Amino acid sequence: MKNKKVETNSLFFSMTLEFLETYLPLQLGRSPKTTKSYRDSLTVFRRYLFDSQHLSVAVFKFDDCSPEMHSGFYHLFKGKR
């Protein structure tokens, strides 16, 4: 059986470091507090993927972000507040 390779540019979490460290603060001029808030939310989302959906960040792609996934995360996140 051949190993399935996932293109790095299609992996959701491969883009988050650049988004948090370059795009938000440098291109959009967002504050460090805003960046921290986004980072914290992405951490909660990552935990949701692993704990509830049994998905690893190593294989989670942009195409995997379905409306059902967003809805499940939203309801879980809303319930913890």
* Angle ∠(14,46,49) on CA atoms, nearest 5: 110
Is 3 within a domain?
A: no
Residue entry with tokens 């319930």 = 79
Band of residue 1 on the pLDDT scale cut at 50, 70, 90: very low
Number of domains in the chain: 1
Please indicate, yes or no, if residue 2 is contained in any of the structural domains. Answer: no
How does pLDDT run across 25-64, given as a tens digit for each residue?
A: 999 999 999 999 999 999 999 999 999 999 999 999 999 9
Q: Does this model's pTM top 0.75?
A: yes
Tell me if 47 is assigned to some domain: yes
Q: What torsion, rounded to 10 degrees, do the Cα atoms 78, 70, 72, 24 define?
A: -40
Residue 42 lies in a domain: yes
**Would you say residue 28 lies in a domain?**
yes
Domain containing residue 55: 10-79
22 lies in some domain: yes
For residues 34 and 53, give the distance between their C-alpha atoms in angstroms, rounded to a whole number.
27
